[in-house]
Amino acid sequence: MLNRQTHLRQTSLNWLVITGSVGVCTLLSLIHVPALEVLAPDWFLIWVVGWSVKRTVWQGVIAGVALGWIQDGLTSPHPSHAVALALVGGLTALMQKQRFVSEDFISIALITFAMAMINQTIIAMQMSVSTDLPLQDIWQHHRQVALSSAIMSSLWAPLVYAPLNRWWSWLQEQE
């Protein structure tokens, strides 16, 4: 009975940490520094990478879709961030399952950099198909946004990943 109550508390606390960390990422994504809009990290992408690195492909995809829908609700649903973040979550989990990378801070930063480039490319491709904007303008904007987002996101990724990884490792040890 006591073991079951402890497990229930840990599960509840884990869900609180998950939703709380997503909430913090949501709040951070709403902060815009004047004249630095292009240099903002993609907090949702950072969270999806941090989550997916120790999960299955499907868990990464589901997390990407869920956070993509939140981001679509905060910004614009066209182009959809859910498609790009789902692919990011799946690819990140797949990379870890294939043991291409380890779980240290440098690896997380590099994964985040690559996934930010993929994320922004998918969004640019969606814009190319669904809008009447000239392709040259879309891809010019993509180059600026993709590189700056990748750099900023990769710099901030260890800060988000470290406490979440520590928490999930502690939970795994308790089981």
Query: What's the pLDDT band for 26 if we cut at 50, 70, 90?
Result: very high
CA separation for the pair 79, 169 (Å, rounded):
35
At 102 the pLDDT is 60
pLDDT in tens, 77-130: 888 999 999 999 999 999 865 565 566 788 899 999 999 999 999 999 998 898
The residue ranges of every structural domain in the chain are 2-174
Of 73, 152, 161, 160, the C-alpha closest to 120 is 152
Sign of CA dihedral 55, 60, 66, 72: positive
Over residues 124-154, the pLDDT tens digits come to 999 889 888 888 888 888 888 899 999 999 9
Pick the CATH number of 2-174 from 1.10.238.10, 1.25.40.10, 1.10.10.10, 1.10.1760.20: 1.10.1760.20
Cβ proximity of 113 and 151 under 8 Å: yes
pTM of the model: 0.89
Integer Cα distance of 17 and 6 in angstroms: 16
Rounded to whole angstroms, how far apart are CA atoms 170 and 166? Answer: 6
Is there a contact between 6 and 163 (Cβ–Cβ < 8 Å)? no
Residue with tokens 């999960």: 55
Which SS3 state, helix, strand or coil, does residue 158 take? helix
Q: In whole numbers, what is the pLDDT of the chain averaged over residues?
A: 88
